[in-house]
Chain A
Amino acid sequence: EVQLLESGGGLVQPGGSLRLSCAASGFTFNSYAMSWVRQAPGKGLEWVSAISGAGTGTYYADSAKGRFIISRDNSKNTLYLQMDSLRAEDTAVYYCAKVGSGGYYGSGSYFQDWGQGTLVTVSS
Chain B
Amino acid sequence: ENVLTQSPGTLSLSPGERATLSCRASQSITNSYLAWYQQKPGQAPRLLIYGASIRATGIPDRFSGSGSGTDFTLTVSRLEPEDFALYYCHQYATSPPLPFGGGTKVEIK
Could you list which residues of chain A lie within 8 angstroms of chain B, going by C-beta atoms?
A: 37, 44-47, 50, 59-61, 95, 100, 105-117
Please tell me if the beta carbons of B102 and A59 are within 8 angstroms of each other in the complex: no
What is the CA–CA distance of A29 and B92 in the complex, to the nearest angstrom?
Answer: 21
Please tell me if the beta carbons of A111 and B94 are within 8 angstroms of each other in the complex: no
Other 18 A-B pairs with CB < 8 A, given A47-B97, A100-B50, A108-B31: A44-B102, A44-B103, A45-B37, A45-B39, A45-B100, A46-B99, A47-B96, A47-B99, A108-B92, A108-B93, A109-B92, A110-B35, A111-B37, A111-B45, A112-B56, A114-B45, A116-B44, A117-B44
Query: Which label, helix, strand, loop or mixed, suits the secondary structure of the B interface?
Result: loop
Mask of B33-60 contacts with A, CB within 8 angstroms, 1/0: 1010101000111110010000010000
Closest CB in chain B relative to A63 CB, distance in Å: 11
Which residue of A37, A46, A108, A113 contacts B33 across the interface (Cβ within 8 Å)? Answer: A108
Using known A-B contacts A95-B44, A110-B50, A111-B45, determine if residue A60 contacts B96 with beta carbons closer than 8 Å: yes
- Interfacial chain A residues near B96, Cβ < 8 Å: 47, 50, 59-61
- Interfacial chain B residues near A107, Cβ < 8 Å: 30-31, 33, 92-95
Size bracket of the B interface: 20 to 34
* 25 cross-chain CB contacts under 8 A: A44-B88, A44-B99, A45-B37, A45-B88, A45-B90, A46-B100, A47-B97, A59-B95, A60-B96, A100-B47, A107-B92, A107-B93, A107-B95, A109-B92, A109-B95, A110-B47, A111-B35, A111-B37, A111-B45, A111-B47, A112-B47, A112-B50, A114-B44, A114-B47, A115-B44
- Interfacial chain B residues near A105, Cβ < 8 Å: 95
Closest CB in chain A relative to B23 CB, distance in Å: 13
Closest CB in chain A relative to B36 CB, distance in Å: 10
Please tell me if the beta carbons of B90 and A110 are within 8 angstroms of each other in the complex: yes
What is the CA–CA distance of A3 and B39 in the complex, to the nearest angstrom?
Answer: 17
Residue of A nearest to B96 (CB): A59
Please tell me if the beta carbons of A44 and B97 are within 8 angstroms of each other in the complex: no
- Interfacial chain A residues near B37, Cβ < 8 Å: 45, 111
